Homo-oligomer: A and B are copies of this chain.
Amino acid sequence: MNFFFKPSGIALIGASANPLKGGFSILNNLKIGFDGPIYPVNPRYEEIDGLRCYPSVAEVPDPVDLAIVFVPGSRAPEVIRACAGRGIKGVMIESGGFAEAGPRGVALQETLKDIARETGIRLWGPNCMGLVDAKRGYVFSFVSGVIWEGGLKTGETSLIVQSGMLSGAFLIDIMTHGVMGISKVCSIGNKCDVNECDLLEYLIDDPDTGVVGLYLEGIADGRRFLDLCRRSLKPIVVLKGGQSARGAAAAMSHTASMAGDAAVLRGVLDQVGVTMASDFKEMMDICRTLAAFPDVSPQNPGRMAILTYTGGAGIVSADFMEREGLPLADLSAETTDRLKTVFPEWMPVGNPVDLWPAVEQHGADKTYAAAVAAVADDPGVDGIFIHAFTGGFALNPDIPGLVKTARAAGKPIFCWLLGRREDARQLQIEAQEQGMPVFREIGRAVVCMRALFGRERTNAVESGDDAAIPDAAASELSGEGVLDEHRSKRILSLCGIPTVSETVVSTPRDAVAAAEQFGFPVVLKGLPPGEVHKTEAGLVRLGVADAGAVGTAFQELTAGMAGRGEILVQPHVSGDLELIVGLVRDAQFGPCVMCGFGGVLAEAVGDVRFAAAPLTMAEALDAIGRLKAQRLLDGFRGAPPVDRDALARILVRLGGLGLAFPRIREIDINPLIIQNGRPVAVDAAVILSP
């Protein structure tokens, strides 16, 4: 991909001398920043603004390995063929009129794809704003020249964006504000060939990139995307547009009905250690925070010391920490003693540390320096949050000195800043250059801290559960649609998933015999082929208490099925807790497992977690550990704690089943009952694709 990012020479096809055209803006931006040869191509000009203009790309001299194309969509195919003929390796098509513009555009875009396949040329776009590389000064984009106004502000964050706005309007906004910088911004447009995965693969090895932020509306190849995220040593932040809460409309299982885009996405991104953002500037704030502290261990719990000049902001900061699950540090006795040396004698030392009375006695410089030094040395403090003000009264601590102290101690330091407009902006820019992210709102600062300290991921590659799927299970996977409960559980059982004992019976006498063997009470179920909602169909008899009742239930169920199905007898399992686990095949991420609470909790709060298969035991345990109501797993109302390993093993094996058999569309184990801490599948359905 280097021909896109560092081309030896660029042909600009559709170059224009008309300042209202994109072909002019691109040329202008190339002339300002590109350090290689630029070859405008347009048969209508001999030269544009002093540069020789070529009638066609065939006539462009070497070196040239990248073409930027800004011509009407209908002309794109011939132009790209010409580029391929000229030996150009990559084409960035920035003009529109393709898949975003109705059926004719869709067809045109398919033609481009075909050409790329035939010729091996790589296509970036179409309908995109190309590339901005602030470090190299490359603007391969028709973005307004305003972007150069304050010089391109550089940073460690690179973006891959599926919205031109983020490399146009948004980029001009952040560039002219000068507070956040960037490394590369890649606008992928319709991504007919080069997609977010190709670019992510490039950027995770790019030495100029510290953090990758992505704005995506769809993910082209979810499994490759997850693999890249796993592989990346750099933090990745995703803002996903279009997160419907609704599950798939045609879902047959409970699992599938819970599998809304947002829930699956949240699960799989957590699984691979990706941070999610919800708004554009928030994404940038999180990225610049992660970029500022690349060495924070994912295990760091983030115990924060808050140093404030105003009690109110200290309290609000602590409230946000509690909300985000970030702990306040317990300051050591030594730290407290050191702080007392600058405190008035009547004032107790707490955390948040209110420095104002000390500032009044000793000035801001001495007080802040002493306080940051004290908490930086405290082994119980993982990070420092200072509150500052600039302009207007004597509260100008030596910010560079504070940052140096914190950095020397290896403690991330953050700043919430108020101040006179220009002063505040200057201080914000300077402090950030010195390595301290500065925020204008407390809540945003804490969200970014949380992103920095909450990135623990279970990066283990070993599965921890290597049970192979036996041939016997495979041979049960015949037919299509919903397999009946008995067959579904036989498959699960063969894969080592614990299921309730049961017997299929064909006479009342066999039913009674089975019931007596299990012990009363028992459950009788009718299993007509293809019926997934037995309870609603009146085909379940719970708590059948004696032989007479078994006989009655048998007759009723047989009648209810009009002679079509079988009768199942099971012991009546009552447990401490009801879970639902399952497998679903996500359009973007392939087979994903689900784990959640059943019964009233499933209905009321939808407390479920998803993870992509294959998953390691560690990942399965992590998904379980993210259930909101997970304290129920630790022994609810005196029950023994749930065997999380056993539960995780079920998820790992469900994932394995889904991977091994693409024909399995959904699996639902509902309920998975916890009895004496151990999970057992009491009802289940395996659903096959036609």
| Beta-carbon nearest neighbor of A310 in chain B | B165
**Do A319 and B631 have beta carbons less than 8 Å apart?**
no
A62 within 8 A of B: no
Residues of B within 8 A of A315 (CB): 217, 241-242
Known: A315-B217, A604-B607, A631-B604. A101 touches B357 (CB 8 A): yes
Distance in Å: Cβ of A180 to nearest Cβ of chain B: 12
A74 within 8 A of B: no
A330 within 8 A of B: no
8 A Cβ contacts from A93-143 to B? 101-105, 143
Residues of B within 8 A of A278 (CB): 316, 319-320, 323, 443
Q: Kindly state the separation between the CA atoms of A314 and B575 in the bound complex, as whole angstroms.
A: 47
Contacting residue for A163 out of B311, B440, B601, B632, CB 8 A:
B311
| Beta-carbon nearest neighbor of A599 in chain B | B600
**Do B605 and A628 have beta carbons less than 8 Å apart?**
yes
Q: A389-419: contact bitstring with B at CB < 8 Å (1 yes, 0 no)?
A: 1011101000000000000000000000011
Q: Kindly state the separation between the CA atoms of A323 and B313 in the bound complex, as whole angstroms.
A: 27
Contacting residue for A162 out of B241, B312, B389, B391, CB 8 A:
B312
A243 within 8 A of B: yes
**Do B443 and A279 have beta carbons less than 8 Å apart?**
yes
Residues of B within 8 A of A316 (CB): 239, 241, 278-280
Q: A70-110: contact bitstring with B at CB < 8 Å (1 yes, 0 no)?
A: 00000000000000000000000000000001111100000
Distance in Å: Cβ of A164 to nearest Cβ of chain B: 7
Q: Kindly state the separation between the CA atoms of A178 and B422 in the bound complex, as whole angstroms.
A: 12
Copies of this chain present in the complex amount to 2
Distance in Å: Cβ of A278 to nearest Cβ of chain B: 6
Q: Kindly state the separation between the CA atoms of A142 and B584 in the bound complex, as whole angstroms.
A: 64
Distance in Å: Cβ of A628 to nearest Cβ of chain B: 7
Residues of B within 8 A of A163 (CB): 310-313
Q: Kindly state the separation between the CA atoms of A102 and B344 in the bound complex, as whole angstroms.
A: 10
8 A Cβ contacts from A275-307 to B? 278-282
**Do B239 and A279 have beta carbons less than 8 Å apart?**
no
**Do A101 and B344 have beta carbons less than 8 Å apart?**
yes
| Beta-carbon nearest neighbor of A172 in chain B | B392
Known: A163-B311, A310-B169. A597 touches B603 (CB 8 A): no
Residues of B within 8 A of A420 (CB): 146, 149, 172-173, 176
Q: Kindly state the separation between the CA atoms of A46 and B239 in the bound complex, as whole angstroms.
A: 66
Residues of B within 8 A of A419 (CB): 169, 172-173, 176
Contacting residue for A418 out of B162, B172, B215, B605, CB 8 A:
B172
Q: Kindly state the separation between the CA atoms of A421 and B313 in the bound complex, as whole angstroms.
A: 28
Residues of B within 8 A of A161 (CB): 312
| Beta-carbon nearest neighbor of A242 in chain B | B315
Contacting residue for A319 out of B144, B242, B346, B637, CB 8 A:
B242
| Beta-carbon nearest neighbor of A395 in chain B | B169
Residues of B within 8 A of A467 (CB): none
**Do B600 and A601 have beta carbons less than 8 Å apart?**
yes
> A169, A173, A241, A607: which has the most chain B beta carbons within 10 Å?
A169
Distance in Å: Cβ of A374 to nearest Cβ of chain B: 22
**Do B239 and A393 have beta carbons less than 8 Å apart?**
no
Q: Kindly state the separation between the CA atoms of A599 and B578 in the bound complex, as whole angstroms.
A: 13
Q: Kindly state the separation between the CA atoms of A603 and B242 in the bound complex, as whole angstroms.
A: 33
Q: Kindly state the separation between the CA atoms of A345 and B443 in the bound complex, as whole angstroms.
A: 44
Q: Kindly state the separation between the CA atoms of A279 and B312 in the bound complex, as whole angstroms.
A: 11
Q: A572-605: contact bitstring with B at CB < 8 Å (1 yes, 0 no)?
A: 0000010000000000000000000101110111
Distance in Å: Cβ of A602 to nearest Cβ of chain B: 11
A245 within 8 A of B: yes
Residues of B within 8 A of A245 (CB): 322
Q: Kindly state the separation between the CA atoms of A605 and B381 in the bound complex, as whole angstroms.
A: 31
A177 within 8 A of B: yes
- 24 example contacts (A-B, Cβ-Cβ < 8 A) are as follows A102-B346, A144-B392, A144-B393, A163-B312, A163-B313, A165-B313, A169-B395, A169-B419, A170-B418, A176-B420, A176-B421, A217-B312, A239-B316, A241-B319, A278-B320, A279-B443, A280-B313, A281-B440, A282-B443, A577-B600, A601-B604, A604-B628, A604-B632, A605-B607
A interface residue numbers (CB < 8 A to B): 101-105, 143-144, 146-147, 149, 161-166, 168-170, 172-173, 176-178, 215, 217, 239, 241-245, 278-282, 309-313, 315-316, 318-320, 322-323, 344-347, 357, 389, 391-393, 395, 418-421, 424, 440-443, 577, 597, 599-601, 603-605, 607, 628-629, 631-632, 636-637
Give me 9 other A-B pairs in contact (C-beta within 8 A), A143-B392, A243-B322, A279-B443 excluded. A105-B346, A146-B420, A172-B391, A241-B315, A241-B316, A280-B316, A280-B442, A281-B440, A577-B600
Per CB-CB distance, the 6 closest pairs between chain A and chain B, nearest first, are A102-B346, A163-B312, A604-B629, A165-B310, A144-B392, A241-B315
